[in-house]
Amino acid sequence: MNRKRNRARAIVLASSMMSAVALPATANDWKAWEGQDESSPRAVYTDGTDSQPTLLTCGADGKLSAMISLKPASLPELLAKNAPYSRAEKASVMVGAAEAAETKVKFVPAIDVIEMHSHSISAKVFNAAVKGEPLKISVTRAGDIETVLPEPNDAFKAFARTCNESREASTKS
Kindly report the CATH number assigned to the domain that includes residue 65: 2.60.40
Give the pLDDT mean for 104-121.
94
Helix H, strand E, coil C: the string for 80-123 is HCCCCCCEEEEEEEEECCCCCEEEEEEEECCCCEEEECCHHHHH
- Return the higher-pLDDT residue of 48 and 98: 98
CB 91 within 8 A of CB 66: no
pLDDT band at 50 (very low <50, low <70, confident <90, very high): low
pLDDT band at 1 (very low <50, low <70, confident <90, very high): very low
Q: What is the CA radius of gyration of the chain?
A: 15
Q: Which structural domain range is residue 104 located in?
A: 2-172
Q: What is the pTM of this model?
A: 0.81
| Type of residue found at 110 | A
Look at the chain and report how many structural domains it folds into.
1
What's the rounded Cα separation, in Å, for the pair 47 and 91? 23
Tell me what percent of the residues of the chain surpass a pLDDT of 70: 82
**pLDDT tens across 113-156, in order?**
999 999 999 999 999 999 999 999 999 888 788 888 999 999 99
Phi, psi for residue 84 in degrees, rounded to 5: -75, -10
pLDDT at 49: 67
